[in-house]
Amino acid sequence: MSGITPISKDAAKFEPAAAPAALQKCVAEVGKVLLGKQDQIRMALCCLLARGHLLIEDLPGMGKTTLAHALGDALGLEYRRIQFTSDMLPADVLGTSIFKRDSGEFQFVEGPIFTQLLLADEINRTTPKTQSALLEAMEEKQVSIDGVTRPLPEPFFVIATQNPGSQSGTYALPESQLDRFLMRIEVGYPGHDAEREMLRAGLGEQHRKPVSQQMGLEQLFALQKQVDIQKVSDTLLDYLQRLVDYSRSNPDFAYGLSPRGALALLQSAKAAALLENRAHVIPEDVQAVLPWVAAHRLAPAGGTMSGALGLVAQMLDSVDVL
């Protein structure tokens, strides 16, 4: 992976990097445990600010869990983790009602989903039934069991990880489910220097450095609200719509971006602008988030070749910014 966005560096040059100190600190803090992955950390934050959910797709041992855990710590979120297995049932995620002998009543025992930051590890190891129970809860931000609807905590942020579909013993998420995730990112191998540093320090799951909290809930809510009111000009919407139209009209695409995909792209771009401490969105923001918002919502015509990222690159190259 050649860095998430080479262009955003120019943007940083132009608007002096003075993002809200807390956000910057968050990135730095998480960066302490996930070395050399600034861009991925920024995208994860971006996703959180845009109130979306994040899917991390990569091989085992690339630091997916580390990223999720560190992010939870840095933002001071209540954190839980589900390790998905193939024999897991929806009740194991959502919770279940248990008969209490002493009171003679059923009592609801919350599942691990009742948390602010949920790490759904290896989501494609479990059956579609359990997957969809989780994904529905993500979409609705509430859980309905035995006729009672229980709201999930605020904020509710899911980081799901999955192994690439080609690995054995997995149930690939269908396209309709992938769409529930605002972004899909890959972590990728660390750079040479970062890996050397990691090896030298002996960093790993076992001896993780403590990550200190950088932000309170109030601050997080405020930032999320700020994302909603980011300034978006017609010139920018023109660009965004040209991108979406391109994906719909070019025969290389099996299908184009949906309206939900277009909204996701805009929301993410707004969050990316906020990370740059800017109150309006510029094309660089769209370009920065496009691969991670669009790639899992697109497929090349024919569907047999993997290459959605190639399609996005083609889209970026072919669509005029102005």
Partner 1 sequence: MSTASQIPRNSIIWLLLAQLVVILPHTGRMSWWMIAIWLLCALWRMAMFRGEASYPGRAVRGVLVMLGSIGVAVSFGSVGGLDFAVALLILAFSLKLIEVRTRRDMFLVFNLALFIVAASFLFSQSVFLALYQIGSIVLIFTAMVATQHALHNRAPLLSLRKSLRLVAQAVPVMLLFFLVFPRIPPIWSVPTSGGGAGTGMSDSIEPGDIAKLNQSSKLAFVVEFESTRPPSIEMYWRGITLEDFDGRKWSAADSAVSVGDRSRREELTEQIELYGVPLRYTLIVEPTKKNWLFALPVAQLQTDADRAGMKGIFYTADYNLRKRTPLSERSELKVESYLDYRADWTLSQQARKNNLRLPRRSNPRARSLAQQMYARTGSTEQFVLAMQRYFLEKDFFYTLEPPELGRHTVDEFVFDTRKGYCEHYANAFAFMLRAAGVPARVVVGYQGGEVNPHNNTLSVRQLDAHAWLEYWQAGEGWLRLDPTYTVAPERINFGLEGALARRPELGASRLSPLYLRNLAMIKSVRLRLDAINHSWQRWVVNFDASQQRRVFERLMGSADPWKLGLIVAGVLGAMLALLSFIILRPGAKDTRSPEHKLYRRFCRKMQKRLQLRRGKAETPLAFAARIAAQAPQCAEQADAITRQYMQIAYAGESGLKQFKRSVERFRPRRPAS
Residue numbers at the binding site for partner 1 (CB under 8 A): 7, 10-11, 13-14, 231, 233-236, 238, 251-252, 254, 279-284, 287, 300-305, 316-322
Identity of the residue, 104 or 302, whose beta carbon is nearer to partner 1 in the bound complex: 302
Half-sphere exposure of 31 (CA within 13 A, CB side): 16
Positive or negative torsion for Cα 128, 130, 45, 245: positive
Task: Tell me if 78 sits within 8 A of 71, measured CB to CB.
Answer: no
73, with CB counted inside 10 A (0-12, 13-18, 19+), is buried
Instruction: State phi, psi for 149 to the nearest 5 degrees.
Output: -95, 125
Identity of the residue, 113 or 274, whose beta carbon is nearer to partner 1 in the bound complex: 274
Identity of the residue, 116 or 247, whose beta carbon is nearer to partner 1 in the bound complex: 247
- Calculate Rg over the CA atoms of the chain: 20
Instruction: State the nearest-atom distance from the C-beta of 291 to partner 1, in Å.
Output: 13
Helix (H) or strand (E) holding 43: helix 38-49
Q: Which residues of 247-281 are buried (b: 16+ CB within 10 A; e: fewer)?
A: beeeeebeebbeeebbebbbbbbbbbbbbbbbeeb
Identity of the residue, 212 or 233, whose beta carbon is nearer to partner 1 in the bound complex: 233
Identity of the residue, 7 or 172, whose beta carbon is nearer to partner 1 in the bound complex: 7
Instruction: State the nearest-atom distance from the C-beta of 252 to partner 1, in Å.
Output: 5
SS3 annotation, 253-292:
ECCCCCHHHHHHHHHHHHHHHHHCCCCECCHHHHHHHHHH
Instruction: State the nearest-atom distance from the C-beta of 27 to partner 1, in Å.
Output: 21
Distances (CA, A) of 219 to 23, 224, 318: 10, 9, 39
Instruction: State the nearest-atom distance from the C-beta of 43 to partner 1, in Å.
Output: 19
Task: Tell me if 151 sits within 8 A of 110, measured CB to CB.
Answer: no
Identity of the residue, 107 or 241, whose beta carbon is nearer to partner 1 in the bound complex: 241
Taking Cα atoms as reference points, which of 70, 12, 85 lies closest to residue 40? 70
Identity of the residue, 16 or 302, whose beta carbon is nearer to partner 1 in the bound complex: 302
Helices 234-249 and 259-275 cross at an angle (nearest 10°) of: 140
Instruction: State the nearest-atom distance from the C-beta of 211 to partner 1, in Å.
Output: 33
The residues that bridge with 120 in the sheet, in sequence order, are: 82, 160
Instruction: State phi, psi for 138 to the nearest 5 degrees.
Output: -60, -45
Identity of the residue, 11 or 34, whose beta carbon is nearer to partner 1 in the bound complex: 11
Instruction: State the nearest-atom distance from the C-beta of 12 to partner 1, in Å.
Output: 10
Instruction: State the nearest-atom distance from the C-beta of 269 to partner 1, in Å.
Output: 11
Instruction: State the nearest-atom distance from the C-beta of 322 to partner 1, in Å.
Output: 6
